[in-house]
Homo-oligomer: A and B are copies of this chain.
Amino acid sequence: MDIINSLITSNDKKILLVVIDGLGGLPKDGKTELESARLLYLNELAEQSSLGLTIPVDYGITPGSGPAHLALFGYDPIKYQIGRGVLEAVGVGLEIGKDDLCVRVNFSTIDQNGIITDRRAGRIATELNQKICELLSEKIKKIDDVEIIIRPGKEHRFVVVFRGKDLDTNISESDPQKEGKSPIKIKALSSQALKTERIVNIFVTQVAEILKNESRANYILMRGFAKHPNLEPISQRYKIKPAAIATYPMYKGIARLVGMEVLGCDETWESEIKTLTKYYNDYDFFYLHFKEVDMKGEDGNFDGKVFLIEKFDALLPQILKLKFDVLTITSDHSTPAILKGHSWHPNPFLLNSVYGRADGIKIFSEASCALGSLGLFQQLKVMPLLLAHSLKIKKYGA
């Protein structure tokens, strides 16, 4: 990647990276979700594009959203990792600063002897979670010089951000991962983390005191201590002016972590495309994320996923009329409905550019992409390909 960096040049060509989350699938009755969808515009576009399949991390590796997106954005997902606490924090919509220590926390139940009887507090309702978090936020605003920020997640999960100087991630977790045990004492694993140890333990004690009369959520377990990954900003790495358009906090958050500007927009696909149109002139790289396809996959809703892929197809002309110099339509990872979760399968990948070789393949599907001239390649190579097709990479050697 160092070679690419040294060869990057900027110009006014515009790149659009469309990510249909969880697009790739697996067959039910012989056809995948993508193959089952009626694709008028995507198939037409495929014929004039280069196709391929991308491997998110490595053969057989099912990525989370973090590594899958890092690879898409050109950051080696093995070398660079976004800590769990940070992913959870950006997932609930928090903006993370360089000094913040982020932790994901479970409400849990302990008995009178301090033994954990339920690590997830019976998966309390999200509404209860929100109420408790509100209460905690009111009662615990600061510990010493460290600001405390609490945000509810789903069911028993929430996020706490410790905002202050000299906090450290090198600290042990308190979740013993089993019921019938005591919470593990949180301890600094190096002298740099002694302040963190003290603040975090005070926090746990204060929370336990406030929650002592709760029937189920009467204790907390903490793990995934993490700070900002401090990645080289993508604008610097690739000399682009990048903007992100997404509706879910997680994806806005990851985009922010790599240094993209996140554009405000409403929570519909139509609004996302409207935002893209509005800001077309202001940036030369757009990451445009469509989330709900993945959720249908996670739910095991094959037909619902097909329906949303067809919805994207119907919206495609609005994107095409903007005439990006380089347009890619792909995914971060596959989410086959029959698996009800992410998978390791490669992502269908389409690249349209006047400087690309049109493969003439008239179908956009997992199988047709396997026949494309771009072959089966690492997701990490997506950015170099996009940059090359927009003539933003100079010649290597003479």
- Residues of A with Cβ closer than 8 Å to B? 3-4, 7, 26-27, 30, 32, 53, 57-67, 77-78, 81-82, 84, 87-88, 336, 338-339, 341-346, 354-360, 366-367, 370-377, 381, 384-385, 387-388, 393-398
Contact = CB atoms under 8 A, between A and B. Distances in A.
12 contacts: A26-B356, A53-B375, A57-B396, A58-B384, A64-B397, A67-B397, A77-B397, A81-B397, A87-B397, A344-B393, A346-B373, A370-B372
Contact of A358 (B27, B77, B375): B27
Nearest to A336: B355
Contact of A396 (B67, B338, B387): B67
A359 B370 contact: yes
Copies in the assembly, this chain: 2
Given A339-B355, A370-B373, A377-B376, A62 B394 contact: yes
- Main secondary structure on A side of the interface with B: loop
Contacts of A84: 398
A57 B32 CA distance: 33
B345 A384 contact: no
Identify the 9 closest CB pairs spanning chains A and B, nearest first: A60-B384, A375-B376, A60-B388, A59-B381, A370-B373, A64-B397, A67-B397, A64-B398, A344-B388
Given A59-B381, A78-B3, A345 B367 contact: no
Contacts of A32: 357
Contact of A357 (B27, B62, B64, B388): B27
A385 B81 CA distance: 23
Contacts of A53: 373, 375
